[in-house]
Amino acid sequence: MLLYILIFIVLAFAAYVRLVPLSAERFHTSISATNNKDIKGASIQIVQNTAGAMEKLDASLKALPRTTLLAGSIAEGHLTYVTRSKWMGFPDYTTLEQSGDMIKMFARLRFGRQDMGVNAARLRKLITALD
């Protein structure tokens, strides 16, 4: 009986992670950071805004598996994407924001406290795409 309860809890959690509404109001917000930093479950990177940089970043993010645009546009200079993990479908949010001659990038997880460096790796991949 205990095994069935445990299986039910795991399946219920998996369903919740997959079906929870994606919150543009909560995650499509301005990035206040002024420095690059990696923290538990998140990473912030700031790069020079060059001609076509937002378009390259947008194309790079859209090319990532299981990634969709949640809110914003290049014209606004503010975009937020959702990337889901392969097996459980955990959502991670990545926000790009033009701020003068800089582009701020903020990648963070939705659930948990540790992302095993996935968000920092995603931002490094995006920065590489700018070269």
100 compared with 19, residue with greater pLDDT: 100
pLDDT tens for 18-73 read 788 888 888 899 999 999 999 899 999 999 999 999 999 999 999 999 999 999 99
How far is residue 44's CA from residue 107's CA, in Å, rounded to a whole number? 7
Nearest to 81 by CA among 45, 57, 113: 57
Does the structure show a pLDDT above 90 at 16?
no
The mean pLDDT value for 103-115 works out to 90
| Helix (H) / strand (E) containing 88 | none
Q: Within a 10 A sphere around the Cβ of 51, how many other Cβ atoms?
A: 7
Residues 50, 66, 78, 114, CA torsion sign: negative
Q: According to the model, what pLDDT value does residue 114 have?
A: 81
Q: According to the model, what pLDDT value does residue 20 have?
A: 82
Q: What are 89's two structure tokens?
A: 């479908």
pLDDT tens for 73-97 read 999 999 999 999 888 888 999 999 9
Q: According to the model, what pLDDT value does residue 87 have?
A: 80
The mean pLDDT value for 103-131 works out to 91
Q: Are 126 and 61 in contact (CB under 8 A)?
A: yes
Q: According to the model, what pLDDT value does residue 84 have?
A: 92
**Whole-prediction pTM:** 0.88
Q: Quick one: residue 118, left, alpha or beta (phi over 0 = left, psi -120 to 50 = alpha)?
A: alpha
Q: According to the model, what pLDDT value does residue 26 have?
A: 86
Q: Architecture of 23-130 per CATH?
A: 2-Layer Sandwich (3.30)
Domain borders along the chain are 23-130
